[in-house]
Structure 1
Amino acid sequence: MSNNKPRTVTLTQAVNLTPPQNDVSDLPLSDSERFKRESNYLRGTIVDDLNNGLTGGFNSDNSQLIRLHGMYQQDDRDIRKERLEQKLEPLINMMLRCRLPGGIITPKQWLTIDKFATEATRYGSIRLTTRQTFQFHGLFKHSLKSAHQLLHNIGLDSIATAGDVNRNVLCTSNPIESKVHQQAYYWASKISEHLLPKTRAYIEIWLDGEKLATPDSEPILSSTYLPRKFKTTVVIPPVNDVDVHANDLSFVAIAEKGELIGFNVLVGGGLAMTHGDKTTYPRKADDFGFIPVEKVLTFAEAVVTTQRDWGNRHNRKNAKTKYTLERVGVENFKKEVELRAGSAFMTSKPYKFTQRGDQFGWYKGIDDNWHLTLFIENGRLLDYPNKPLKTGVAEIAKIHQGDLRITANQNLIIANVPAEQKEAIEKIAREYGLLDDTVTLQRKYSMACVSYPTCPLAMAEAERFLPSFVTKIEQMLSQHHLSDDYIILRVTGCPNGCARAMLAEVGMVGKAPGRYNLYLGGNREGTRIPRLYKENVNVEEILLVLEPLIKDWSVHRHQDEGFGDFVIRHEIVKPVLNSAIDFYQVAN
């Protein structure tokens, strides 16, 4: 390994360092760079807007700044037109996302957020997300401080769960390998804390903290933070439940004899793109090599600061780490990371992903405790008629002695259940509809983002559309004797990738109300990007496309062959080998 000392980068140098080729530093900065620079370390005039009773929202700059505090400004799009006709402001409200590394929360914390969601939000729900945390939807401006203070009082916060920072750090939820999971979760938490913004703006604004005379500084993120959002995961093979290729930085756990010895480091994954802009595309991550556990924070910081200094601050559509790697070259980026870390990557250790998704039902861990994974469709915990899911989880939390784990697939694990408590917890889960043996594998392997009515970026339905669409797919599978099988199906209301459709066997990306781009050819392991098969088609056309393909899959597939592998082998679509070059080639 190299003995070079880490490269020191001062704040004044942070936005002036230039990569070895294809420099973009001389181009004009995007407006996002302006308001971050002028924000005084994320303060802006948020306090003034909080005190402004004439509007339910924040001004243009502040509506962007609150993202770095963990909130998005939204409105109810179902009633937007009605309110406009009444000459009323849109029903502006906020979505607040908690920071919850690894998705672990205590029963006591859960009961507190459950009560708050019921009493203080417009929708009354708790939304489990693909970023392994929960969101409050429908928070009005006057309730924001109380929301942040409530989180603080139970040891949580929403810092850096949105905006141009490192977001909530994911960690494999696998409850069976308890010892390795505990070690991996430790590093997910440490990475999250290490890469957090250091500004006191959050404490001052939301927690009424004292304003200190000493100036703020951001030694890792810089005064203008990152060029774009940054996502980090820790994953334990063979289960790729966090979708490593959807993230800027992933640490793949390598264990020997039940002990974590280090990680393979994957850099440059990401799924978002822009309709009609071929300079944007999903991309798989590159494996940079192996590092020992004691180097995790050093290398995490080195990757983040390299992206900070080399990322595109001119064009936000090309600002993610994946585009930086394509622009400057993977090897150049890797060498810079090694220089800043003061040591070199070692040869990657072998590993293999064999499955994705969550393992449902009861599983026994190596510590003799039990773990119950509950399927939560679309992650939406709400009391439905004859299915009071939200109340059911609260009832479990009242008696549960272990912890709760939100998965990266919008489900919930009741973890570390003593054998003597299994019967009581299962009884509650069944009574409240949280445990249902009739739920198919297809439904369990389908996922959607929130989309309408709250997401301002939504172009088509996703969460509200998915259940009925899955029913139609279930009927097709049953018709062709595939009821016990599944297709990894994901629907997003826009091309930003929240439901990770660009790693699905069948991905649907919203284009307009009732219309989607249809992608085919991902795989069950989550290691292949699907290809566009039909553009801007309605739901009926999609079903007409899928039915004969599912029929052929049932008749001609190899043993245990997934749908995505089948359509590649039968040349229905060509595999995407290099997104930057061939993602937009014709389907076949």
Structure 2
Amino acid sequence: MSDKLPDAEIIKRESNYLRGTIAEGLDDLATGAISDNDNKLTKFHGTYLQDDRDVRDERRRQRLEPLHMFMVRLRLPGGVLTPEQWLGMDDIAGDCANHTLKLTTRQTFQFHGVFKHKMRPLMRAIDALGLDTKGACGDVNRNVVSNVNPHESQVHADIHRYSVDISERLKWRSRAYAEIWLGEDRVEARGEDEPGKEEEEPFYSYYYMPRKFKIALAVPPENDADVLSNDIALIAIVEDGKLVGFNVGVGGGMGMTYGNEATHPRLADVAGYVPADQVVDACEAIAAIQRDHGCRTERTHARFKYTMADHGVEWFLERFAEYHGTPMAPVRDYVFTHSGDRFGWVEGENGNQHLTLSIRSGRVLDTDELALRTALRDIAKIHTGDFRITCNQNLIIANVAPEKKAEIQTLVDHYGLEDGSGISALARNSMSCVAFPTCALAMAESERYLPSLTDKLDALMDKAGLADTPINVRVTGCPNGCARPYLAEIGLTGKALGKYNLFLGGDERGERMNRLYRENIDEATILELLEPMLERFAAERNDGEGFGDFLIRGGIVDAERPPEVFHKAYAV
């Protein structure tokens, strides 16, 4: 590897603690864009520049610049917000964005279609709700996600508290955010090159992390956060109904680069155990290990998963004891049984009710068929509990007082909201990323394609007698893995318009990655390949056996193939 730092590393180091010339670029309304350097920096602020790819060619023919707009993502640890915050977010979607709310696979909101002149009003409206966007993107700790577990009220409360505490501990501190977005007076940055002055970023310094860093918490037997796909995986250990500590996994991550066999997704190594009261300090120590030892000269090798792959668990445990001051204890026993959401009404330990709604691809909008945005707004007006976004892009109307349940159910029935009972098991367990028309990295459709794909797969399922059988299906428009396709029983990653790589053999527990089965194939070929597999699954499956497990047991997919299988398909 070269010793030369890549441009992205130089830009953040020379940014004056993430200021760059973002403020000046926002003031220039002669263009809808900002500079490339500032676009890299705004990611740390939870936003980046996009354009509408559906109209790109037409605007080029008219000699117009692309229709530039911003995506804005919130930092919302644990995915919990109040009804008042929901109503405020809905207002922002109408006043500053494209009239939709997007629930993401990292348990937060995205706004799309935000034009430059609306950026500061949007950020100030978010701030007025007591929320922010710090670190929702960029080379820092991202949104901390956690298991929802609405039925385990006290454990969930503890898990949510830890997700907030970890997020706060690893939040970047520069005053750039307040200066650029909230109108606070600009102050001179203080850096380590100025002796005697306090450093503005006590944890990250001026160089921040080598790449993005992700943390998740899960409570066995449920793994709805796909915890092992994260840089730090915190697996709760509960004894006698109380949270006592966490098994700690390290070095997970989705995403790869087509054609570069040095890149691949990876599951976290479960390395040890820490008591609950040490977990925030432990996360800081682990992030510091990656901050100091992660690769900074090659962006494609800069994730913690590659640091772990290069050095191994024993090296990590030595570094952890050094950074944390106390070694990890041995891993404790745990079992995951599934990674999906619980739909419909569930009663919590405290007697409150929780309703999980299915939100297709996490997109909250009003259509002629379903006034979803209006329905959720009406629910928020009467709801006295909270809302919880799941890592599977669904929504929980949580902590419903028993006397409020009938009133909320009346609204659910009136608007025809989906509690999971009216759609197929396959559709309930499907996810997609945004892809076209806004994501610059998209090679194929994803969110707009998923409904059609699941309809066709449902037809095959019905034909095979599998209508009520859950299979998780995940589609992304590129190999970066935002919808975690490499953990799916059926995963598709976009290769070109109408063409996908087909991955098979993940499990329903989120503990095994799938393998590349065919490369660069169209829908007809995908369905042609899957039909006999589904028919064989229906005829030969064991009781309780999932589709991915069957593919492994039946020898259709080899789970022992090494990481480079993510670039090499099975022979035809």
When normalised by structure 2's length, the TM-score is 0.96
Aligned to 1:464: 448
Matches of 1:90 and 1:433, distance apart in 2 = 38
Given the alignment of the two structures, is residue 565 of structure 1 paired with residue 549 of structure 2, yes or no? Answer: yes
1:1-33 alpha-carbon deviations (Å, 9 max, x no partner): xxxxxxxxxxxxxxxxxxxxxxx6x71111111
Aligned to 1:126: 101
Matches of 1:329 and 1:560, distance apart in 2 = 35
Structure 1 residues 114-263: aligned runs within 5 Å: 114-121=90-97, 123-212=98-187, 215=190, 216-263=199-246
The 8 Å contact of residues 449 and 462 in structure 1, kept in 2 or not, is answered as: yes
Q: Percent identity?
A: 47
The 8 Å contact of residues 516 and 565 in structure 2, kept in 1 or not, is answered as: no
1:202-228 alpha-carbon deviations (Å, 9 max, x no partner): 011101123345725222222111110
1:402-456 alpha-carbon deviations (Å, 9 max, x no partner): 0000110000000001111111101111222323532111111011000000000
Matches of 2:54 and 2:568, distance apart in 1 = 37
The 8 Å contact of residues 576 and 583 in structure 1, kept in 2 or not, is answered as: no
Aligned to 2:284: 301
Which residue, 482, 489, 507 being the options, matches 2:473? 489
Which residue, 409, 417, 421 being the options, matches 2:400? 417
1:158-213 alpha-carbon deviations (Å, 9 max, x no partner): 00000101000001011001101100111100000000111110011101123345
Unaligned regions of 5+ residues in structure 2, if any?
191-198
Matches of 2:294 and 2:63, distance apart in 1 = 43
Aligned to 1:106: 82
In structure 1, give the amino acid aligned to 2:430: S
Aligned to 2:525: 541
In structure 2, give the amino acid aligned to 1:525: R
2:494 match: secondary structure = strand
1:271-320 alpha-carbon deviations (Å, 9 max, x no partner): 10001110001111001101011211221111111101111111111110
In structure 1, give the amino acid aligned to 2:556: I
Given the alignment of the two structures, is residue 273 of structure 1 paired with residue 248 of structure 2, yes or no? Answer: no
Matches of 2:61 and 2:562, distance apart in 1 = 49
Matches of 2:400 and 2:369, distance apart in 1 = 26
Aligned to 1:383: 366
Aligned to 2:302: 319
Matches of 2:128 and 2:567, distance apart in 1 = 49
Unaligned regions of 5+ residues in structure 1, if any?
1-23
Deviation at 1:586, TM superposition (A): 5.2
Matches of 1:457 and 1:301, distance apart in 2 = 31
Which residue, 483, 508, 516 being the options, matches 1:524? 508
Matches of 1:333 and 1:447, distance apart in 2 = 33
Aligned to 1:20: none
The 8 Å contact of residues 41 and 199 in structure 1, kept in 2 or not, is answered as: yes
Aligned to 2:12: 36
Deviation at 1:386, TM superposition (A): 2.9
Deviation at 1:578, TM superposition (A): 4.8
1:114 match: secondary structure = helix
1:36 match: secondary structure = helix
In structure 2, give the amino acid aligned to 1:244: V
2:346 match: secondary structure = strand
Structure 1 residues 372-411: aligned runs within 5 Å: 372-411=355-394
The 8 Å contact of residues 93 and 138 in structure 1, kept in 2 or not, is answered as: yes
Which residue, 342, 359, 363 being the options, matches 1:359? 342
1:384 match: secondary structure = coil
Given the alignment of the two structures, is residue 92 of structure 1 paired with residue 68 of structure 2, yes or no? Answer: yes
Matches of 1:191 and 1:539, distance apart in 2 = 42
Matches of 1:577 and 1:339, distance apart in 2 = 35
Which residue, 352, 356, 366 being the options, matches 1:369? 352
Matches of 1:429 and 1:586, distance apart in 2 = 45
Matches of 1:525 and 1:214, distance apart in 2 = 46
1:186 match: secondary structure = helix
Count of equivalent residues:
562
2:456 match: secondary structure = helix
Aligned to 2:54: 78
Matches of 2:493 and 2:443, distance apart in 1 = 9
Aligned to 1:19: none
> Bigger CA drift: 213-222 or 459-468?
213-222
1:210-261 alpha-carbon deviations (Å, 9 max, x no partner): 3345725222222111110111011111110000121101111111111111
Matches of 1:89 and 1:336, distance apart in 2 = 50
The 8 Å contact of residues 379 and 408 in structure 2, kept in 1 or not, is answered as: yes
The 8 Å contact of residues 168 and 231 in structure 1, kept in 2 or not, is answered as: yes
2:179 match: secondary structure = helix
Deviation at 1:334, TM superposition (A): 2.3
In structure 2, give the amino acid aligned to 1:410: Q
Matches of 2:99 and 2:189, distance apart in 1 = 41
Structure 1 residues 337-348: aligned runs within 5 Å: 337-348=320-331
Matches of 1:545 and 1:414, distance apart in 2 = 39
Aligned to 2:431: 447
1:329 match: secondary structure = helix
Deviation at 1:559, TM superposition (A): 1.0
In structure 1, give the amino acid aligned to 2:129: I
Aligned to 2:195: none
Matches of 2:328 and 2:511, distance apart in 1 = 22
Given the alignment of the two structures, is residue 69 of structure 1 paired with residue 52 of structure 2, yes or no? Answer: no
Deviation at 1:583, TM superposition (A): 4.7
Matches of 2:398 and 2:234, distance apart in 1 = 23
Given the alignment of the two structures, is residue 514 of structure 1 paired with residue 498 of structure 2, yes or no? Answer: yes
Deviation at 1:582, TM superposition (A): 5.5
In structure 2, give the amino acid aligned to 1:32: A
Which residue, 299, 317, 322 being the options, matches 1:334? 317
Matches of 2:189 and 2:14, distance apart in 1 = 18
2:396 match: secondary structure = strand
Matches of 2:528 and 2:456, distance apart in 1 = 11
Given the alignment of the two structures, is residue 60 of structure 1 paired with residue 36 of structure 2, yes or no? Answer: yes
The 8 Å contact of residues 93 and 99 in structure 2, kept in 1 or not, is answered as: yes
Change (3 A) 1:108 1:329: same
CA RMSD of aligned residues (A): 1.3
